[in-house]
Amino acid sequence: MNIRQLLLDVDKAVARPSLLEIAAALDRCTGVEAVNITVEEIDIETVGMNVSIEGSNMSYEEIAGAIEKTGAVVHSLDEIAVGERIIPRIPRVR
């Protein structure tokens, strides 16, 4: 399966790891071409982040393992794009 894009909900402790450590770990993963980390929420002990990753033929298991080795935790896989191209997301009107 050719994973092209992932959006992950990730939490980390306030002190460690740094965003740079997480980004560096992801950058070393096979097939990863781009990483965006956005802090969404900060409380006394944890930082909640959205991690967007793009590339080609990426391994979810390798990526999740790399994040967990830094000391952060993947809470959920919120979006995945698979195939030869990425379909632009069209917001749903309710």
At residue 68, the pLDDT reads: 97
66 HSE (CA, 13 A, CB side): 20
| pLDDT (average), residues 59-84 | 96
The DSSP letter of residue 72 is -
pTM for the model: 0.90
At residue 91, the pLDDT reads: 82
Average pLDDT of the chain, as a whole number: 95
Taking only the tens place, the pLDDT of each residue in 44-57 is 999 999 999 999 99
Taking only the tens place, the pLDDT of each residue in 7-37 is 999 999 998 999 999 999 999 999 999 999 9
Name the residue ranges covered by the structural domains of the chain.
3-82
At residue 90, the pLDDT reads: 83
Place of tokens 């390798």: 62
**From edge to edge, which strands make up the β-sheet containing 3-13?**
32-42, 46-58, 3-13, 73-82
- The hierarchical CATH code for the domain 3-82 is 3.30.70.1340
**Encoding tokens for residue 88?**
């632009």
CB atoms within 10 A of CB 2: 13
User: Do you find a cis peptide bond into 88, omega within 30 degrees of 0?
Assistant: no
